Structure 1
Protein backbone atom coordinates (compact mmCIF):
# COMPACT_ATOMS: atom_id res chain seq x y z
CA UNK A 1 0.00 0.00 0.00
CA UNK A 2 0.98 3.57 -0.74
CA UNK A 3 -1.21 5.80 1.44
CA UNK A 4 -1.58 9.37 0.21
CA UNK A 5 -3.65 12.03 1.98
CA UNK A 6 -3.85 15.65 3.06
CA UNK A 7 -3.11 14.75 6.67
CA UNK A 8 -3.06 18.38 7.85
CA UNK A 9 -6.75 18.70 7.01
CA UNK A 10 -9.79 16.75 8.17
CA UNK A 11 -8.92 14.08 10.77
CA UNK A 12 -10.76 11.33 8.88
CA UNK A 13 -7.53 10.82 6.94
CA UNK A 14 -5.74 10.00 10.19
CA UNK A 15 -8.35 7.40 11.13
CA UNK A 16 -7.95 5.81 7.70
CA UNK A 17 -4.16 5.81 8.07
CA UNK A 18 -4.32 4.24 11.53
CA UNK A 19 -6.75 1.62 10.25
CA UNK A 20 -4.55 0.77 7.24
CA UNK A 21 -1.45 0.49 9.40
CA UNK A 22 -3.13 -1.79 11.95
CA UNK A 23 -4.80 -4.22 9.56
CA UNK A 24 -2.89 -7.48 9.06
CA UNK A 25 -4.29 -7.83 5.54
CA UNK A 26 -2.12 -5.20 3.84
CA UNK A 27 1.45 -3.95 4.09
CA UNK A 28 1.93 -0.19 3.98
CA UNK A 29 5.30 0.59 2.41
CA UNK A 30 5.04 4.34 1.80
CA UNK A 31 3.04 7.33 3.03
CA UNK A 32 2.85 10.59 1.10
CA UNK A 33 1.31 13.88 2.19
CA UNK A 34 -0.49 16.30 -0.12
CA UNK A 35 -1.25 19.98 0.32
CA UNK A 36 -4.50 21.61 1.44
CA UNK A 37 -6.72 23.92 -0.57
CA UNK A 38 -5.11 27.38 -0.09
CA UNK A 39 -8.57 28.98 0.24
CA UNK A 40 -9.33 26.87 3.33
CA UNK A 41 -5.94 26.79 5.04
CA UNK A 42 -5.02 27.97 8.50
CA UNK A 43 -2.68 30.96 7.97
CA UNK A 44 -0.27 29.43 10.48
CA UNK A 45 0.62 26.65 8.04
CA UNK A 46 0.00 28.43 4.74
CA UNK A 47 2.52 27.36 2.12
CA UNK A 48 3.70 24.37 4.14
CA UNK A 49 0.58 22.22 4.54
CA UNK A 50 2.09 19.12 2.91
CA UNK A 51 5.05 19.31 5.29
CA UNK A 52 2.67 19.79 8.21
CA UNK A 53 0.75 16.70 7.08
CA UNK A 54 3.99 14.72 6.97
CA UNK A 55 4.71 15.71 10.57
CA UNK A 56 1.22 14.68 11.71
CA UNK A 57 1.46 11.29 9.96
CA UNK A 58 4.82 10.66 11.65
CA UNK A 59 3.38 11.69 15.02
CA UNK A 60 0.50 9.24 14.51
CA UNK A 61 2.94 6.40 14.04
CA UNK A 62 4.85 7.41 17.16
CA UNK A 63 1.59 7.48 19.11
CA UNK A 64 0.81 3.99 17.76
CA UNK A 65 4.24 2.74 18.84
CA UNK A 66 5.10 1.26 15.46
CA UNK A 67 8.44 -0.53 15.57
CA UNK A 68 9.27 -0.17 11.87
CA UNK A 69 7.12 2.63 10.44
CA UNK A 70 7.07 3.22 6.68
CA UNK A 71 8.75 6.36 5.33
CA UNK A 72 6.72 9.55 4.91
CA UNK A 73 7.37 12.18 2.23
CA UNK A 74 5.73 15.55 1.63
CA UNK A 75 4.39 16.53 -1.75
CA UNK A 76 4.40 19.87 -3.52
CA UNK A 77 2.42 22.95 -2.47
CA UNK A 78 2.50 24.11 -6.09
CA UNK A 79 -0.71 22.41 -7.19
CA UNK A 80 -1.97 22.65 -10.74
CA UNK A 81 1.51 23.38 -12.09
CA UNK A 82 2.74 20.61 -14.35
CA UNK A 83 6.15 22.35 -14.57
CA UNK A 84 6.76 22.31 -10.80
CA UNK A 85 9.95 20.54 -9.63
CA UNK A 86 9.47 16.90 -8.66
CA UNK A 87 8.65 16.56 -4.98
CA UNK A 88 10.11 13.94 -2.68
CA UNK A 89 6.65 12.37 -2.51
CA UNK A 90 6.37 12.01 -6.28
CA UNK A 91 9.87 10.53 -6.58
CA UNK A 92 9.16 8.07 -3.76
CA UNK A 93 5.92 6.95 -5.44
CA UNK A 94 7.79 6.25 -8.66
CA UNK A 95 10.53 4.32 -6.88
CA UNK A 96 8.04 2.17 -4.98
CA UNK A 97 5.83 1.50 -8.00
CA UNK A 98 8.80 0.41 -10.10
CA UNK A 99 10.12 -1.88 -7.35
CA UNK A 100 9.41 -5.57 -7.90
CA UNK A 101 7.23 -7.14 -5.22
CA UNK A 102 5.09 -10.30 -5.24
CA UNK A 103 2.13 -8.37 -3.79
CA UNK A 104 -0.11 -6.17 -5.98
CA UNK A 105 0.29 -2.45 -5.33
CA UNK A 106 -2.60 -0.19 -4.32
CA UNK A 107 -2.33 3.58 -4.16
CA UNK A 108 -5.03 5.03 -1.90
CA UNK A 109 -5.75 8.74 -1.97
CA UNK A 110 -8.03 10.60 0.42
CA UNK A 111 -7.16 14.06 -0.88
CA UNK A 112 -6.22 15.74 -4.16
CA UNK A 113 -4.44 13.63 -6.76
CA UNK A 114 -1.47 16.02 -6.85
CA UNK A 115 1.25 13.57 -5.87
CA UNK A 116 0.05 10.79 -8.16
CA UNK A 117 -0.23 13.12 -11.17
CA UNK A 118 3.32 14.34 -10.54
CA UNK A 119 4.59 10.75 -10.29
CA UNK A 120 2.87 9.81 -13.55
CA UNK A 121 4.59 12.72 -15.29
CA UNK A 122 7.96 11.47 -14.08
CA UNK A 123 7.34 7.85 -15.08
CA UNK A 124 4.15 7.02 -17.03
CA UNK A 125 4.86 3.27 -16.76
CA UNK A 126 3.75 3.24 -13.12
CA UNK A 127 0.15 3.36 -14.42
CA UNK A 128 0.49 -0.32 -15.28
CA UNK A 129 1.88 -1.27 -11.88
CA UNK A 130 -0.80 -0.14 -9.40
CA UNK A 131 -4.50 0.27 -8.74
CA UNK A 132 -5.66 3.66 -7.49
CA UNK A 133 -8.47 4.07 -4.95
CA UNK A 134 -9.52 7.73 -4.81
CA UNK A 135 -11.93 9.52 -2.49
CA UNK A 136 -13.16 12.41 -4.60
CA UNK A 137 -15.34 13.88 -7.29
CA UNK A 138 -19.05 14.53 -7.55
CA UNK A 139 -21.80 12.05 -8.30
CA UNK A 140 -22.34 10.66 -11.78
CA UNK A 141 -23.34 11.50 -14.44
CA UNK A 142 -23.18 15.27 -13.89
CA UNK A 143 -20.65 15.82 -11.10
CA UNK A 144 -20.42 18.86 -8.84
CA UNK A 145 -18.03 20.83 -6.65
CA UNK A 146 -16.18 18.48 -4.29
CA UNK A 147 -13.25 19.38 -2.06
CA UNK A 148 -10.63 16.80 -3.08
CA UNK A 149 -11.31 17.37 -6.77
CA UNK A 150 -11.55 21.16 -6.50
CA UNK A 151 -8.25 21.41 -4.62
CA UNK A 152 -6.37 20.25 -7.74
CA UNK A 153 -8.62 19.83 -10.77
CA UNK A 154 -5.62 19.70 -13.11
CA UNK A 155 -4.19 16.68 -11.29
CA UNK A 156 -7.50 14.83 -11.54
CA UNK A 157 -7.65 15.62 -15.24
CA UNK A 158 -4.18 14.17 -15.71
CA UNK A 159 -4.99 10.96 -13.85
CA UNK A 160 -8.45 10.38 -15.31
CA UNK A 161 -8.12 11.77 -18.81
CA UNK A 162 -4.48 11.26 -19.74
CA UNK A 163 -3.39 8.08 -17.95
CA UNK A 164 -4.48 4.47 -18.08
CA UNK A 165 -4.04 3.73 -14.37
CA UNK A 166 -6.84 1.47 -13.04
CA UNK A 167 -9.05 3.75 -10.93
CA UNK A 168 -11.64 2.99 -8.25
CA UNK A 169 -13.48 6.20 -7.44
CA UNK A 170 -15.52 6.87 -4.31
CA UNK A 171 -17.45 10.05 -5.13
CA UNK A 172 -19.02 12.46 -2.68
CA UNK A 173 -22.45 10.81 -2.40
CA UNK A 174 -20.79 7.50 -1.53
CA UNK A 175 -18.20 8.66 0.99
CA UNK A 176 -20.79 10.75 2.83
CA UNK A 177 -22.44 7.46 3.81
CA UNK A 178 -19.53 6.92 6.21
CA UNK A 179 -21.05 8.97 9.03
CA UNK A 180 -19.77 8.38 12.56
CA UNK A 181 -21.59 9.82 15.54
CA UNK A 182 -19.46 12.28 17.50
CA UNK A 183 -20.88 10.74 20.68
CA UNK A 184 -19.88 7.29 19.44
CA UNK A 185 -16.32 8.45 18.77
CA UNK A 186 -16.12 9.71 22.33
CA UNK A 187 -17.66 6.55 23.72
CA UNK A 188 -15.92 3.94 21.54
CA UNK A 189 -12.62 5.41 20.33
CA UNK A 190 -11.35 7.65 23.10
CA UNK A 191 -11.33 5.08 25.97
CA UNK A 192 -9.55 2.34 24.02
CA UNK A 193 -6.01 3.55 24.67
CA UNK A 194 -3.81 6.66 24.74
CA UNK A 195 -3.53 6.24 20.97
CA UNK A 196 -7.32 6.20 20.69
CA UNK A 197 -7.52 9.33 22.83
CA UNK A 198 -4.94 11.04 20.61
CA UNK A 199 -7.00 10.24 17.51
CA UNK A 200 -10.21 11.38 19.20
CA UNK A 201 -8.61 14.68 20.17
CA UNK A 202 -8.00 15.40 16.49
CA UNK A 203 -11.80 15.48 16.09
CA UNK A 204 -12.30 17.92 18.93
CA UNK A 205 -9.68 20.35 17.59
CA UNK A 206 -10.45 20.41 13.84
CA UNK A 207 -9.36 23.06 11.32
CA UNK A 208 -11.01 26.45 11.91
CA UNK A 209 -13.27 26.28 8.85
CA UNK A 210 -14.99 23.09 10.08
CA UNK A 211 -18.19 23.23 12.11
CA UNK A 212 -18.73 19.93 13.93
CA UNK A 213 -22.33 18.83 14.36
CA UNK A 214 -23.67 15.56 15.73
CA UNK A 215 -21.72 13.40 13.31
CA UNK A 216 -18.43 13.33 11.50
CA UNK A 217 -17.96 11.79 8.04
CA UNK A 218 -15.09 9.30 8.14
CA UNK A 219 -15.00 9.69 4.40
CA UNK A 220 -11.48 8.37 3.83
CA UNK A 221 -12.11 5.01 5.51
CA UNK A 222 -13.48 3.36 2.33
CA UNK A 223 -9.88 3.11 1.14
CA UNK A 224 -9.33 0.56 3.91
CA UNK A 225 -12.69 -1.17 3.46
CA UNK A 226 -12.03 -1.89 -0.21
CA UNK A 227 -8.37 -2.90 0.08
CA UNK A 228 -8.13 -4.65 3.45
CA UNK A 229 -11.56 -5.81 4.63
CA UNK A 230 -14.01 -6.73 1.86
CA UNK A 231 -15.58 -5.04 -1.16
CA UNK A 232 -18.34 -7.65 -1.35
CA UNK A 233 -20.95 -5.79 0.73
CA UNK A 234 -20.43 -2.55 -1.20
CA UNK A 235 -21.69 -1.87 -4.71
CA UNK A 236 -20.10 -0.28 -7.75
CA UNK A 237 -20.69 0.37 -11.42
CA UNK A 238 -17.96 0.23 -14.04
CA UNK A 239 -18.57 3.47 -15.93
CA UNK A 240 -17.05 5.05 -19.00
CA UNK A 241 -14.81 7.80 -17.65
CA UNK A 242 -15.74 11.41 -18.32
CA UNK A 243 -13.68 14.50 -18.84
CA UNK A 244 -13.52 16.85 -15.86
CA UNK A 245 -14.48 20.48 -16.24
CA UNK A 246 -12.86 23.31 -14.27
CA UNK A 247 -15.92 23.62 -12.03
CA UNK A 248 -15.87 19.93 -11.03
CA UNK A 249 -18.67 18.84 -13.31
CA UNK A 250 -18.21 15.98 -15.76
CA UNK A 251 -17.99 16.46 -19.49
CA UNK A 252 -17.89 14.13 -22.48
CA UNK A 253 -17.20 10.42 -22.16
CA UNK A 254 -13.65 9.21 -22.82
CA UNK A 255 -13.70 6.34 -25.28
CA UNK A 256 -11.87 3.27 -24.00
CA UNK A 257 -11.38 4.60 -20.45
CA UNK A 258 -13.32 2.90 -17.63
CA UNK A 259 -13.58 3.87 -13.97
CA UNK A 260 -15.01 1.70 -11.19
CA UNK A 261 -17.39 4.01 -9.32
CA UNK A 262 -18.62 2.92 -5.89
CA UNK A 263 -22.18 3.83 -5.02
CA UNK A 264 -22.82 2.17 -1.63
CA UNK A 265 -20.34 1.38 1.13
CA UNK A 266 -20.55 -0.87 4.17
CA UNK A 267 -20.03 1.60 7.02
CA UNK A 268 -20.93 -0.90 9.74
CA UNK A 269 -18.26 -3.37 8.64
CA UNK A 270 -15.67 -0.62 8.31
CA UNK A 271 -16.17 0.90 11.75
CA UNK A 272 -16.53 -2.45 13.52
CA UNK A 273 -13.22 -3.60 12.04
CA UNK A 274 -11.50 -0.34 12.99
CA UNK A 275 -12.62 -0.41 16.63
CA UNK A 276 -11.74 -4.10 16.95
CA UNK A 277 -8.23 -3.54 15.55
CA UNK A 278 -7.74 -0.58 17.89
CA UNK A 279 -8.72 -2.73 20.89
CA UNK A 280 -6.44 -5.56 19.77
CA UNK A 281 -3.60 -3.08 19.32
CA UNK A 282 -4.19 -1.75 22.85
CA UNK A 283 -3.99 -5.31 24.16
CA UNK A 284 -0.62 -5.85 22.51
CA UNK A 285 -1.71 -7.89 19.50
Structure 2
Protein backbone atom coordinates (compact mmCIF):
# COMPACT_ATOMS: atom_id res chain seq x y z
CA UNK A 1 0.00 0.00 0.00
CA UNK A 2 1.28 3.47 -0.81
CA UNK A 3 0.46 5.66 2.16
CA UNK A 4 2.88 8.56 2.82
CA UNK A 5 3.58 7.30 6.34
CA UNK A 6 4.21 4.21 8.43
CA UNK A 7 3.92 3.75 12.20
CA UNK A 8 6.40 2.48 14.80
CA UNK A 9 6.72 -1.29 14.90
CA UNK A 10 5.77 -1.45 18.56
CA UNK A 11 2.39 0.13 17.73
CA UNK A 12 1.45 -2.59 15.26
CA UNK A 13 -0.88 -5.47 16.11
CA UNK A 14 -1.71 -8.83 14.57
CA UNK A 15 -5.15 -8.96 13.01
CA UNK A 16 -7.41 -11.76 11.80
CA UNK A 17 -10.78 -11.01 10.20
CA UNK A 18 -13.72 -13.40 10.38
CA UNK A 19 -16.35 -12.31 7.90
CA UNK A 20 -19.67 -13.39 6.40
CA UNK A 21 -18.54 -11.39 3.40
CA UNK A 22 -21.32 -12.24 0.96
CA UNK A 23 -24.12 -11.69 3.47
CA UNK A 24 -24.83 -8.20 2.13
CA UNK A 25 -22.57 -5.28 1.24
CA UNK A 26 -20.74 -3.79 4.23
CA UNK A 27 -18.15 -6.45 5.11
CA UNK A 28 -16.19 -5.62 1.98
CA UNK A 29 -15.61 -2.05 3.17
CA UNK A 30 -14.23 -3.24 6.50
CA UNK A 31 -11.94 -5.77 4.79
CA UNK A 32 -10.51 -3.17 2.44
CA UNK A 33 -10.11 -0.66 5.29
CA UNK A 34 -8.09 -3.22 7.25
CA UNK A 35 -5.88 -4.11 4.29
CA UNK A 36 -5.04 -0.43 3.74
CA UNK A 37 -4.12 0.17 7.41
CA UNK A 38 -0.41 0.08 8.37
CA UNK A 39 -1.11 -0.67 12.04
CA UNK A 40 -2.25 -4.17 11.12
CA UNK A 41 -0.15 -7.24 10.48
CA UNK A 42 -2.85 -9.08 8.57
CA UNK A 43 -2.58 -12.73 9.56
CA UNK A 44 -5.59 -14.10 7.76
CA UNK A 45 -9.19 -13.70 6.68
CA UNK A 46 -11.67 -16.41 7.63
CA UNK A 47 -14.85 -17.01 5.67
CA UNK A 48 -17.85 -17.24 8.00
CA UNK A 49 -21.20 -18.88 7.48
CA UNK A 50 -24.49 -17.08 7.78
CA UNK A 51 -26.53 -20.23 7.42
CA UNK A 52 -29.61 -19.18 9.40
CA UNK A 53 -29.79 -15.81 7.69
CA UNK A 54 -29.10 -17.20 4.22
CA UNK A 55 -32.60 -18.64 4.20
CA UNK A 56 -33.99 -15.14 4.83
CA UNK A 57 -32.15 -13.73 1.84
CA UNK A 58 -32.56 -16.92 -0.25
CA UNK A 59 -29.18 -16.30 -1.86
CA UNK A 60 -27.08 -19.43 -1.30
CA UNK A 61 -27.07 -22.92 0.15
CA UNK A 62 -23.41 -22.71 1.16
CA UNK A 63 -22.98 -19.34 2.83
CA UNK A 64 -19.42 -20.01 4.01
CA UNK A 65 -18.27 -20.81 0.47
CA UNK A 66 -20.00 -17.68 -0.81
CA UNK A 67 -18.09 -15.67 1.81
CA UNK A 68 -14.83 -17.37 0.84
CA UNK A 69 -15.33 -16.60 -2.84
CA UNK A 70 -16.11 -12.96 -2.03
CA UNK A 71 -12.95 -12.60 0.06
CA UNK A 72 -10.89 -14.01 -2.79
CA UNK A 73 -12.55 -11.60 -5.20
CA UNK A 74 -11.74 -8.57 -3.06
CA UNK A 75 -8.11 -9.68 -2.69
CA UNK A 76 -7.84 -10.29 -6.43
CA UNK A 77 -9.12 -6.81 -7.27
CA UNK A 78 -6.55 -5.35 -4.85
CA UNK A 79 -3.77 -7.54 -6.35
CA UNK A 80 -3.24 -9.14 -2.94
CA UNK A 81 -3.83 -12.78 -3.81
CA UNK A 82 -1.31 -14.83 -1.87
CA UNK A 83 -0.33 -11.93 0.38
CA UNK A 84 -2.99 -12.62 3.03
CA UNK A 85 -4.01 -16.18 3.94
CA UNK A 86 -7.69 -17.02 3.41
CA UNK A 87 -9.30 -19.79 5.43
CA UNK A 88 -12.60 -21.62 5.27
CA UNK A 89 -14.60 -21.38 8.47
CA UNK A 90 -17.42 -23.60 9.68
CA UNK A 91 -20.15 -24.39 7.17
CA UNK A 92 -22.89 -24.13 9.79
CA UNK A 93 -23.50 -22.95 13.36
CA UNK A 94 -22.41 -25.12 16.27
CA UNK A 95 -25.10 -27.58 17.32
CA UNK A 96 -24.77 -26.96 21.07
CA UNK A 97 -22.49 -25.23 23.57
CA UNK A 98 -20.04 -28.12 23.95
CA UNK A 99 -19.43 -29.34 20.39
CA UNK A 100 -17.17 -27.36 18.03
CA UNK A 101 -17.56 -27.12 14.27
CA UNK A 102 -14.01 -27.93 13.22
CA UNK A 103 -12.62 -25.93 10.34
CA UNK A 104 -9.37 -24.59 8.99
CA UNK A 105 -10.48 -21.16 10.18
CA UNK A 106 -10.82 -22.31 13.79
CA UNK A 107 -7.48 -24.06 13.52
CA UNK A 108 -5.90 -20.87 12.15
CA UNK A 109 -7.18 -18.90 15.16
CA UNK A 110 -5.64 -21.47 17.51
CA UNK A 111 -2.36 -21.50 15.64
CA UNK A 112 -2.04 -17.71 15.62
CA UNK A 113 -3.11 -17.37 19.26
CA UNK A 114 -0.44 -19.84 20.37
CA UNK A 115 2.28 -18.42 18.11
CA UNK A 116 5.45 -17.05 19.66
CA UNK A 117 4.85 -13.44 18.65
CA UNK A 118 4.93 -10.48 21.05
CA UNK A 119 2.50 -8.39 18.98
CA UNK A 120 -1.03 -8.44 20.45
CA UNK A 121 -3.55 -10.53 18.52
CA UNK A 122 -7.01 -9.19 17.70
CA UNK A 123 -9.63 -11.26 15.90
CA UNK A 124 -12.59 -9.28 14.60
CA UNK A 125 -15.92 -10.95 13.90
CA UNK A 126 -18.18 -9.30 11.35
CA UNK A 127 -20.74 -12.10 11.54
CA UNK A 128 -21.42 -14.97 13.95
CA UNK A 129 -18.95 -16.18 16.57
CA UNK A 130 -18.95 -19.77 15.28
CA UNK A 131 -15.24 -20.06 14.53
CA UNK A 132 -14.12 -18.42 17.78
CA UNK A 133 -16.39 -20.62 19.89
CA UNK A 134 -15.17 -23.68 18.00
CA UNK A 135 -11.51 -22.68 18.42
CA UNK A 136 -12.04 -22.18 22.15
CA UNK A 137 -13.84 -25.51 22.56
CA UNK A 138 -11.02 -27.20 20.65
CA UNK A 139 -8.24 -25.43 22.60
CA UNK A 140 -9.23 -23.50 25.76
CA UNK A 141 -5.63 -22.26 26.16
CA UNK A 142 -6.32 -19.52 23.61
CA UNK A 143 -8.59 -17.68 26.06
CA UNK A 144 -5.95 -15.28 27.39
CA UNK A 145 -4.00 -14.94 24.15
CA UNK A 146 -6.30 -12.84 21.98
CA UNK A 147 -8.89 -10.09 22.04
CA UNK A 148 -12.11 -10.63 20.10
CA UNK A 149 -14.08 -7.69 18.67
CA UNK A 150 -17.64 -8.66 17.78
CA UNK A 151 -20.08 -6.71 15.67
CA UNK A 152 -23.26 -8.26 17.01
CA UNK A 153 -25.98 -8.64 19.59
CA UNK A 154 -29.02 -6.55 20.34
CA UNK A 155 -29.05 -3.25 22.26
CA UNK A 156 -28.22 -3.29 25.95
CA UNK A 157 -29.57 -4.07 28.45
CA UNK A 158 -32.47 -6.06 26.98
CA UNK A 159 -30.94 -7.48 23.81
CA UNK A 160 -33.20 -8.93 21.14
CA UNK A 161 -33.02 -10.34 17.64
CA UNK A 162 -29.93 -9.30 15.71
CA UNK A 163 -28.63 -10.87 12.50
CA UNK A 164 -25.12 -11.90 13.56
CA UNK A 165 -26.36 -13.28 16.88
CA UNK A 166 -29.24 -15.06 15.12
CA UNK A 167 -26.75 -16.92 12.95
CA UNK A 168 -25.20 -18.72 15.94
CA UNK A 169 -26.58 -18.00 19.44
CA UNK A 170 -24.88 -21.10 20.87
CA UNK A 171 -21.50 -19.72 19.80
CA UNK A 172 -22.27 -16.38 21.42
CA UNK A 173 -23.00 -18.13 24.71
CA UNK A 174 -19.76 -20.10 24.52
CA UNK A 175 -17.73 -16.93 24.05
CA UNK A 176 -19.69 -14.93 26.62
CA UNK A 177 -19.05 -17.61 29.24
CA UNK A 178 -15.36 -18.00 28.35
CA UNK A 179 -12.41 -15.96 29.61
CA UNK A 180 -11.69 -14.50 26.16
CA UNK A 181 -11.35 -10.72 26.24
CA UNK A 182 -14.39 -9.55 24.30
CA UNK A 183 -15.34 -6.16 22.92
CA UNK A 184 -18.98 -6.09 21.82
CA UNK A 185 -20.38 -3.50 19.41
CA UNK A 186 -24.16 -4.06 19.61
CA UNK A 187 -26.73 -3.33 16.95
CA UNK A 188 -27.79 0.15 18.10
CA UNK A 189 -24.15 1.26 18.07
CA UNK A 190 -22.94 -0.20 14.78
CA UNK A 191 -26.13 1.07 13.14
CA UNK A 192 -24.87 4.64 13.57
CA UNK A 193 -22.32 4.14 10.75
CA UNK A 194 -24.67 5.58 8.15
CA UNK A 195 -23.58 6.70 4.69
CA UNK A 196 -25.49 7.91 1.67
CA UNK A 197 -25.04 6.36 -1.74
CA UNK A 198 -24.14 9.82 -3.03
CA UNK A 199 -21.32 9.99 -0.49
CA UNK A 200 -20.00 6.61 -1.63
CA UNK A 201 -20.22 7.68 -5.28
CA UNK A 202 -18.09 10.72 -4.41
CA UNK A 203 -15.64 9.31 -1.86
CA UNK A 204 -15.27 5.62 -2.80
CA UNK A 205 -16.20 4.90 -6.42
CA UNK A 206 -13.47 7.02 -8.10
CA UNK A 207 -10.59 5.35 -6.25
CA UNK A 208 -9.25 2.44 -8.18
CA UNK A 209 -10.84 -0.77 -9.29
CA UNK A 210 -11.51 -1.67 -5.66
CA UNK A 211 -13.29 1.62 -4.99
CA UNK A 212 -15.51 1.07 -8.00
CA UNK A 213 -16.23 -2.49 -6.87
CA UNK A 214 -17.09 -1.48 -3.30
CA UNK A 215 -19.53 1.08 -4.62
CA UNK A 216 -21.10 -1.04 -7.33
CA UNK A 217 -21.63 -4.18 -5.27
CA UNK A 218 -23.44 -2.10 -2.64
CA UNK A 219 -25.64 -0.42 -5.24
CA UNK A 220 -26.42 -3.80 -6.80
CA UNK A 221 -27.35 -5.31 -3.45
CA UNK A 222 -29.44 -2.26 -2.58
CA UNK A 223 -31.37 -2.62 -5.83
CA UNK A 224 -31.84 -6.38 -5.35
CA UNK A 225 -32.92 -6.09 -1.71
CA UNK A 226 -35.51 -3.45 -2.50
CA UNK A 227 -37.64 -6.05 -4.29
CA UNK A 228 -36.43 -9.36 -2.81
CA UNK A 229 -36.78 -8.65 0.91
CA UNK A 230 -40.34 -8.27 2.17
CA UNK A 231 -39.64 -5.48 4.64
CA UNK A 232 -40.83 -2.06 3.59
CA UNK A 233 -38.54 -0.38 6.15
CA UNK A 234 -35.27 -1.83 4.76
CA UNK A 235 -33.38 -0.98 2.73
CA UNK A 236 -34.19 2.70 2.84
CA UNK A 237 -33.30 3.42 -0.77
CA UNK A 238 -30.58 6.08 -0.66
CA UNK A 239 -28.65 5.25 2.52
CA UNK A 240 -26.73 2.32 3.92
CA UNK A 241 -25.11 1.24 7.16
CA UNK A 242 -21.42 0.27 7.09
CA UNK A 243 -21.95 -1.50 10.38
CA UNK A 244 -18.86 -3.72 10.24
CA UNK A 245 -16.42 -0.84 10.00
CA UNK A 246 -16.22 -0.11 13.76
CA UNK A 247 -14.33 -3.39 14.16
CA UNK A 248 -11.48 -1.73 12.27
CA UNK A 249 -11.56 1.80 13.68
CA UNK A 250 -11.74 0.64 17.31
CA UNK A 251 -8.36 -1.02 16.83
CA UNK A 252 -6.93 2.30 15.68
CA UNK A 253 -8.47 4.24 18.57
CA UNK A 254 -10.33 2.21 21.16
CA UNK A 255 -12.60 5.12 22.17
CA UNK A 256 -11.75 4.90 25.87
CA UNK A 257 -14.82 6.96 26.76
CA UNK A 258 -17.10 5.03 24.41
CA UNK A 259 -17.61 1.82 26.34
CA UNK A 260 -18.47 0.33 29.71
CA UNK A 261 -17.24 -2.84 31.37
CA UNK A 262 -20.27 -5.01 32.07
CA UNK A 263 -21.01 -8.51 33.35
CA UNK A 264 -21.41 -10.86 30.41
CA UNK A 265 -25.03 -11.95 29.93
CA UNK A 266 -26.41 -15.22 28.69
CA UNK A 267 -28.37 -15.32 25.44
CA UNK A 268 -31.90 -16.63 25.87
CA UNK A 269 -33.93 -18.58 23.31
CA UNK A 270 -35.51 -15.35 22.06
CA UNK A 271 -32.11 -13.60 21.77
CA UNK A 272 -32.50 -11.41 24.83
CA UNK A 273 -29.85 -10.92 27.52
CA UNK A 274 -30.17 -12.76 30.80
CA UNK A 275 -28.14 -10.92 33.42
CA UNK A 276 -27.19 -13.58 35.94
CA UNK A 277 -23.60 -13.09 37.18
CA UNK A 278 -21.02 -10.43 38.12
CA UNK A 279 -17.64 -12.11 37.60
CA UNK A 280 -17.13 -12.58 33.86
CA UNK A 281 -16.77 -9.06 32.42
CA UNK A 282 -16.79 -7.81 28.83
CA UNK A 283 -16.38 -4.44 27.13
CA UNK A 284 -19.66 -3.15 25.66
CA UNK A 285 -19.57 -0.12 23.36
CA UNK A 286 -22.21 2.56 23.54
CA UNK A 287 -20.50 4.92 21.06
CA UNK A 288 -18.38 4.74 17.92
CA UNK A 289 -17.13 7.86 16.15
CA UNK A 290 -18.68 7.48 12.70
CA UNK A 291 -16.87 10.52 11.27
CA UNK A 292 -13.47 9.17 12.32
CA UNK A 293 -14.26 5.65 11.12
CA UNK A 294 -15.55 6.60 7.70
CA UNK A 295 -13.13 9.42 6.96
CA UNK A 296 -10.12 7.22 7.78
CA UNK A 297 -11.36 4.67 5.25
CA UNK A 298 -12.12 7.34 2.65
CA UNK A 299 -8.68 8.92 3.13
CA UNK A 300 -6.84 5.63 2.77
CA UNK A 301 -8.69 4.84 -0.45
CA UNK A 302 -7.87 8.28 -1.83
CA UNK A 303 -4.21 8.15 -0.79
CA UNK A 304 -3.73 4.70 -2.28
CA UNK A 305 -5.75 5.07 -5.47
CA UNK A 306 -6.06 8.80 -6.10
CA UNK A 307 -3.92 10.89 -8.44
CA UNK A 308 -1.32 12.55 -6.24
| TM-score of the two chains, using structure 1 as the length reference | 0.93
> Cα gap change, 1:40/1:212 in structure 2, threshold over 3 Å: closer, same or farther?
farther
How far is 1:39 from its partner?
4.5
What is the rounded CA distance, in whole Å, between the counterparts of 2:211 and 2:104 in structure 1? 30
Q: Secondary structure at the match of 2:204?
A: helix
Partner residue in 2 for 1:134: 150
Please list, as runs of the form range in 1=range in 2, the aligned pairs for 1:48-59 lying within 5 A after superposition.
Answer: 48-59=62-73
RMSD: 1.9
How far is 1:33 from its partner?
1.1
The answer to whether 1:173 aligns with 2:188 is: yes
Partner residue in 2 for 1:186: 201
Deviations 1:1-24 (A, max 9, x none): 010010111221110010011101
Please list, as runs of the form range in 1=range in 2, the aligned pairs for 1:90-105 lying within 5 A after superposition.
Answer: 90-105=106-121
Give the length in aligned residue pairs: 282
Partner residue in 2 for 1:18: 32
How far is 1:85 from its partner?
4.9
What is the rounded CA distance, in whole Å, between the counterparts of 1:168 and 1:102 in structure 2? 21
Partner residue in 2 for 1:265: 288
What is the rounded CA distance, in whole Å, between the counterparts of 1:218 and 1:273 in structure 2? 13
Give structure 1 regions of 4+ aligned residues with deviation exceeding 4 angstroms: none
Q: Secondary structure at the match of 1:4?
A: strand
> Cα gap change, 1:234/1:198 in structure 2, threshold over 3 Å: closer, same or farther?
farther
> Which of 190, 210, 213 is the aligned partner of 2:237?
213
CA contact 2:204–2:298 (8 Å) conserved in 1: yes
Partner residue in 1 for 2:52: 38
Partner residue in 1 for 2:91: 77
> Unaligned 5+ residue runs, structure 2?
1-14
Q: Secondary structure at the match of 1:167?
A: strand
What is the rounded CA distance, in whole Å, between the counterparts of 1:260 and 1:24 in structure 2? 25
CA contact 1:233–1:265 (8 Å) conserved in 2: no
